[in-house]
Chains A and B, each alone.
Chain A
């Protein structure tokens, strides 16, 4: 009875040390850096989508995995990021990716601050429903105010210029997306992962986990619960907003679909798929989900049915997700050998 508890905690401690993390993070990073020269452009672009979604899911999991709040409205912040970029193109004629990211951060800070202020007073199903309802409000705005947002036609976003105009997207778009833009996203991804890793391992991150485990006791050790939830909500939303901003030039178009609650469901799906109990879970989940969805869509028109079946099978057989299960298998293998 006590042995698994010891190992779990020892693993958690070990996982928290910088050296252990670098031991596997560095090879993965190097591999990711050289990917565009190894795989076909199409695969690299798919991976770019995966990395973008990974940033969003990482933000989402700060709430689910670390604070114990299931948001069903993260499509809203993703959408804010994407629409801020599209509106900057439409009304301000901006084409610089750095300005896009800056604008998306400002936009998502404002929206998450307002939504978070309302939502963090609630927990469990009430929190989930409230986040879902608010995201649907935003969706209907994008849907109805077509003279601003283009309605269901959406808004086009041309290829941006990177690094204050040093790299422009002139010429072959596929080549640009699978090399320059891929590396751009990858750098932002590295920064986002590093930042999130520090946040969850900071004293603040510990306080969030305390709130997740036992709200009452957290309050009685002096943690002001809803302030911490609010900050977590803010950080979470901004990460997802950043993902939205990186996604839109890749897609070339933003439509209200990405604000619809079903897209929030996809964010939940990829996080559960990867495993919300581990730091790397949402990253792995987002990349895998992206491939899964692409092939499911290509394979059958009933792709949603297929993904639904996968989700059911997953929850029943691998409740700790891909990363959690892999970790357990690795631990067992280590014990045997």
Chain B
């Protein structure tokens, strides 16, 4: 069953057809990779779906509900969360605070002015549990601005995960980290989302990561969907191999 469906989604920036009549779906409990060269429209598509800006036309359906004009806040409540390509953290708060704040927000508790945050043990326990899940418990008390790039990437995902989403968009979770760090990051992230039955749509450039971790691959080119299929189908797809991966194809 489809969790998310976009119909004829369009976003132009001047003459650039960033997203050009895209019909994109995400199924329940799948890990999907969104690939394409720079400027193919992957991030714009995610921005449209997560509500960073509105589409020019088209429709976004999430669990059958039209969320095209829903606020960011409304989409989060519905179950759409995202991480960012350029890591977006609360740098002057500790890693634990970053996650705890997210939980406070999810629970609608950030409206409380007259009680101490530290007194809400349930929230802190859950925040610590989430850090543990992502292997970050050792960094709980460190300022988010002071941990390594790979850990920042994971913390970014942990924050999105703390919103208890049904659909998680990850914008290049392994960009800017060393090749050695990529595998552990992807192992952690995919094991968490698979074990919790969350659908994940991952924008990724590293083809090894793409073919190793995804159930389905959607390739974009110049704002449109070029191909959509299982890793094996995409591997055999000539349009994809010539435009995106290079003529030799992946190993």
Residues of chain A having any CB pair with chain B under 8 Å? 1-2, 4-6, 8-10, 12-13, 16-18, 198-199, 201-207, 209-210, 212-214, 216-224, 228, 231, 235
A206 to B98: give the CA distance in the assembly, Å. Answer: 9
Q: A5-B143, A9-B142, A202-B112 are in contact. Are A220 and B90 (CB under 8 A)?
A: no
A residues less than 8 Å from B185 (CB atoms): none
The answer on a CB contact under 8 Å between B81 and A13 is no
**Known contacts A213-B90, A228-B110; A203 and B117 CB within 8 A of each other:** yes
Whether the pair B142, A5 counts as a contact (CB closer than 8 A) is yes
Task: Give the residues in chain B near A220, CB-CB below 8 Å.
Answer: 50, 72, 76, 81-82, 84, 88, 160
Q: Closest 3 CB pairs between A and B? A: A5-B146, A213-B90, A207-B110
Which B residues, 49 to 94, have Cβ-Cβ distances below 8 Å to chain A? 50, 52, 71-73, 76-77, 81-82, 84, 88-94
Residues of B within 8 A of A206 (CB): 93, 97, 100-101, 104, 110, 117
Residues of A with C-beta under 8 A to B100: 206
CB-defined contacts of A12 to chain B, threshold 8 Å:
94
Shortest CB-to-CB span from B21 to chain A, Å, is 26
Question: What chain B residues lie within 8 Å of A216 (beta carbons)?
Answer: 52, 84, 88
Contact B114 A202 (CB under 8 A): yes
Q: Given the known inter-chain contacts A12-B94, A220-B50, please indicate yes or no for A203 contacting B112, CB distance below 8 A.
A: yes
Query: What are 16 A-B pairs with beta-carbon distances under 8 A?
Result: A8-B146, A9-B142, A13-B141, A203-B115, A204-B113, A205-B117, A207-B104, A210-B101, A212-B92, A220-B81, A222-B73, A222-B76, A222-B77, A222-B102, A231-B113, A235-B113
Q: Give every chain A residue within 8 A of B91 (Cβ-Cβ).
A: 213-214
CA A223 – CA B141 in complex, angstroms?
Answer: 23
Q: Is the CB of A217 within 8 A of B146?
A: no
Is there an interface contact between B143 and A9, defined as CB atoms closer than 8 Å? yes
**Chain A residues near B71 (CB, 8 Å)?**
224
A203-B72 in contact given A4-B146, A5-B146, A210-B93 (Cβ < 8 Å): no
How far, in angstroms, from A327 to B90 measured CA to CA in the complex?
Answer: 23
Using CB atoms and an 8 Å cutoff, list the residues of chain B in contact with chain A. Answer: 50, 52, 71-73, 76-77, 81-82, 84, 88-94, 97, 100-102, 104-106, 109-118, 120, 141-143, 145-147, 159-160, 162-163
How long is the Cα–Cα vector from A135 to B120 in the complex, in angstroms? 39
Query: Across the interface, do B146 and A207 meet the contact criterion of CB distance under 8 Å?
Result: no
Most chain B CB within 10 A, of A18, A198, A221, is at A221
CB of A192 to closest CB in B, whole Å:
14
Q: How far is the CA of A80 from the CA of B172 in the complex (A)?
A: 51
What is the CB-to-nearest-CB distance from B113 to chain A, in angstroms, rounded to a whole number?
Answer: 4
**What's the nearest-Cβ distance from chain A to residue B166, in Å?**
15
Given that A2-B146, A220-B88 are contacting pairs, would A213 and B114 also be in contact in the complex, using a CB cutoff of 8 Å?
no
The reply to whether A217 and B89 contact each other, CB–CB distance below 8 Å, is: yes
Q: Kindly list chain A residues whose C-beta atoms are within 8 Å of the C-beta of B114.
A: 198-199, 202
Tell me whether A224 and B73 are in contact in the complex, defined as CB-CB below 8 angstroms, given that A206-B110, A209-B93 are known contacts: yes
Most A Cβ at <10 Å: residue of B71, B89, B105, B162: B105
Choice from B84, B116, B145 contacting A202 with Cβ under 8 Å: B116
Determine the chain A residues whose CB is within 8 A of the CB of B72 once the complex forms. Answer: 219-220, 222
| Interchain CB contact under 8 A, B93 and A207 | no
Q: Are A204 and B110 in contact (CB under 8 A)?
A: yes
Are B106 and A202 in contact, CB atoms less than 8 angstroms apart?
no
Interface contacts beyond A202-B116, A207-B110: sample of 19 additional A-B pairs, CB < 8 Å, sorted by A:
A5-B142, A6-B142, A199-B113, A203-B120, A205-B113, A206-B101, A207-B105, A216-B84, A217-B90, A219-B72, A220-B76, A220-B88, A221-B76, A221-B101, A221-B105, A222-B76, A222-B102, A222-B106, A223-B105
Note all chain B residues with C-beta closer than 8 A to A209.
90, 92-93, 101
What residues on B are CB-neighbors of A223 within 8 Å? 105, 110
The distance from the CB of B124 to the nearest CB of chain A, in whole angstroms, is 11
Contact pick for B146, options A1, A221, A222, CB 8 Å: A1
Please give, as numbers and ranges, the residues of chain B lying within 8 Å of A203 by CB-CB distance: 101, 104, 109-112, 115, 117, 120
Contact of A207 among B84, B101, B159 (CB under 8 A): B101
Once the chains are docked, how many angstroms separate the CA of A8 from the CA of B147? 13
Q: Which residue of A lies closest to B94 (CB)?
A: A9
Roughly how many angstroms separate A228 CA and B88 CA in the complex, as a whole number?
20
Beta-carbon contact of A202 and B90 below 8 Å = no
Residue of B nearest to A16 (CB): B118
Q: Give complex CA distance A198, B116 in Å.
A: 6
Question: A213 — which chain B residues lie within 8 A by C-beta?
Answer: 89-93
Closest to B108 in A: A222
Min CB gap B63→A, angstroms: 18
Bound Cα distance from A219 to B52, whole angstroms: 9
Contacts of B73 on A, CB cut-off 8 Å?
Answer: 219, 222, 224
| Best-buried of B50, B110, B120 by chain A (most CB within 10 Å) | B110
Q: Is the CB of B118 within 8 A of A17?
A: yes
CA distance A202 to B159 in the complex (A): 19
Shortest beta-carbon distance from A207 to chain B in Å: 4
